[in-house]
Amino acid sequence: MERIQCKLCVMDSSASEFKVDDDGVCNFCDQAQKSLDEIRSQRDNLTSMLEQIRKDGEGEEYDCLMGLSGGLDSSTTIDWAVKEGLRILCFTLDNSYNTPEADHNVKALVSKLGLEHITVTVDHDKYTKLQDAFFKAGVINCEIPTDHILMAVSLKLAKENGIKWILSGGNTISESIMPPSWGYNARDLTHIKDVFNTAYPDENLDDLPTCSIWMWNEYKHTYGIQTFYPLDYIEYNLEIAKAYLKDKYDWKDYGLKHEESIFTGWFQNKYLPEKFGIDKRKAHLSSLINARQLTKGEAKAILDSPKQGFEFPVVELDEKEIMTYPKLPHTEYLMETWYEDIAKIIKEK
């Protein structure tokens, strides 16, 4: 079947949610514009946000915690935070899949900015088993292990160091579009455990940092830990940010969004397109088109250019075998959704 593409962006009917209006403009563009309007209208609040973060850090060693991947978003965020005079504890998750460029960027930023920096190393054998379990499960989102561990480590480190604010490089400019059907949230530990125990019934995840919804609730409500997204409050132009970082920190480019991880590079460029017909670059590039930082022609040229590299990075597992596992929806495994249902009801009220 011929795919229908949006007139403005490069999203198409490969996403099940995709719809176009009478002018040929898709629902993702519509949503992206709403999100961009929303962040523009909140920018005046930056000063008061900063005041609050500094106030919450009074009497403590740090004002905020930040995970530094060496990617463009987190590098830009940390540079901004240091300029604002925030006292930052930063950490990098080492799951063995950071690109040499990302490692270089982390080192350069940490040394030039004189940051307090922790490297959190993940138990490689158990982590590989968890990845294997997600492949065997046949579900779309095999990035859940990394995303979940990152969240669990962030909250734990924040609590241990009396930190109330976690800074995130997440931002609307480059992330306004992502179809829900192309993933599943990484917060659901019940889901993660069920996927893991389906493949490894006699083992547990005690060696890895995890966070149940109950713990998450405690971090958020008992300890008052919150997340702040500075890039939504400042002018964030990706090309300008890259040039600035290269000049100031000898920062090295690693490719498109999220490709600072060799696992994610493979996952987004080979696994998802070949197994599920999903090309997440369409969503990333369409976000940039909506933010007026890329033309549709430029986006199409990127999508049409041959992909290079992206070899399967998990030496313990077999790529060919992984590609033959059956495909199954996340709903085949246990899910804990009550908290999202409640959040939705509150939002709709």
Our finding on whether 299 is near Zn ion (CB under 5 A) is no
Binding mask 202-221 for Zn ion (x = CB under 5 A): --------------------
Smallest separation, CB 136 to Zn ion (Å): 35
Task: Work out whether 50 is an interface residue with Zn ion (CB under 5 A).
Answer: no
Provide the token pair at 71: 């990617």
Closest to Zn ion by CB, 32 vs 102, is 32
Query: In this complex, which beta carbon is closest to Zn ion, that of residue 6 or of residue 152?
Result: 6
Between residues 16 and 308, which has the closer beta carbon with respect to Zn ion?
16
CB of 211 to Zn ion, least distance (A): 35
Kindly state whether residue 166 participates in binding Zn ion, applying the rule CB under 5 A.
no
Q: How many residues bind Zn ion, per CB under 5 A?
A: 6
Q: How far is the CB of 295 from Zn ion (least distance, A)?
A: 13
**What's the min distance (Å) between Cβ of 102 and Zn ion?**
30
Q: Which residues in 1-40 contact Zn ion (CB under 5 A)? A: 6, 8-9, 11, 26, 29
Q: How far is the CB of 172 from Zn ion (least distance, A)?
A: 16
Q: Which is nearer to Zn ion, 9 or 157 (CB)?
A: 9
Q: Which is nearer to Zn ion, 23 or 348 (CB)?
A: 23
Binding of Zn ion at residue 291 (CB under 5 A)? no
Asked if 294 is part of the footprint of Zn ion (rule: CB under 5 A), the reply reads: no
Specify the residue for token string 């009917």. 13
Cβ nearer to Zn ion, comparing 240 with 301: 301
| Site for Zn ion contains 283 (CB under 5 A) | no
122 makes contact with Zn ion (CB under 5 A): no
Q: For residues 244 and 256, what is the distance between their CA atoms, to the nearest angstrom? A: 17
Indicate the residue among 12 and 207 with the shorter CB distance to Zn ion: 12
> Shortest distance, CB of residue 61 to Zn ion, whole angstroms?
46
SS3 string of the chain?
CCCCECCCCCCECCCCCCCECCCCCEHHHHHHHHHHHHHHHHHHHHHHHHHHHHHHCCCCCCCEEEECCCCHHHHHHHHHHHHCCCCEEEEEEECCCECHHHHHHHHHHHHHHCCEEEEEECCHHHHHHHHHHHHHHCCCCCCHHHHHHHHHHHHHHHHHCCCCEEECCCCHHHHCCCCHHHCCCCCCHHHHHHHHHHHCCCCCCCCCCCCCHHHHHHHHHHCCCEEECHHHCCCCCHHHHHHHHHHHHCCCCCCCCCCCEHHHHHHHHHHHHHHHCCCCHHHHHHHHHHCCCCCHHHHHHHHHCCCCCCCCCCCCCCHHHHHHCCCCCHHHCCCCCHHHHHHHHHHHC
53 binds Zn ion (CB under 5 A): no
User: CB nearest Zn ion: which residue?
Assistant: 6
Residues that bind Zn ion (CB under 5 A): 6, 8-9, 11, 26, 29
